[in-house]
Structure 1
């Protein structure tokens, strides 16, 4: 895992786990549970952006 990931502030669902988004200088995107940034999932920035937008829009509340 790259050591140069820039993490955003955690996003927390109502009474649920918090997660963080990050990017590296090569344009790769990461998502991790807050506090477990050493074990991120990776995907394209567009795929992660779509996932997060859907979660924030309430389309995937059960994931949090």
Structure 2
């Protein structure tokens, strides 16, 4: 995979042990990873990421946390 441009990690209130990082490849492909496992990458489409974020905003994922 080409170079990934990462945003700052998003960490919870547990002292930084559960940080999620979102970035994108040169072609715009969204990529997610946990900072504790930086070599395990999850790729998706821009539409897939948008749908996930919108579902989280609506509360559709609240039962997972």
TM-score (norm. length: structure 2): 0.67
Tell me which residue corresponds to 1:22.
23
Superposed displacement of residue 47, structure 1 = 1.3
Structure 2 alignment gaps of length 5 or more: none
Q: Which has the higher contact order (CA 8 A, sep 6+)?
A: 1
Residues 18 and 36 of structure 2 are in contact (CA less than 8 Å); yes or no, is this contact kept in structure 1? no
TM-score (norm. length: structure 1): 0.67
SS in 2 for 1:9: coil
Tell me which residue corresponds to 1:13.
12
Tell me the C-alpha RMSD between the 2 structures.
Answer: 2.4
Q: Which protein has the larger Cα radius of gyration, Structure 1 or Structure 2?
A: 2
Structure 1 alignment gaps of length 5 or more: none
Aligned residues: 62
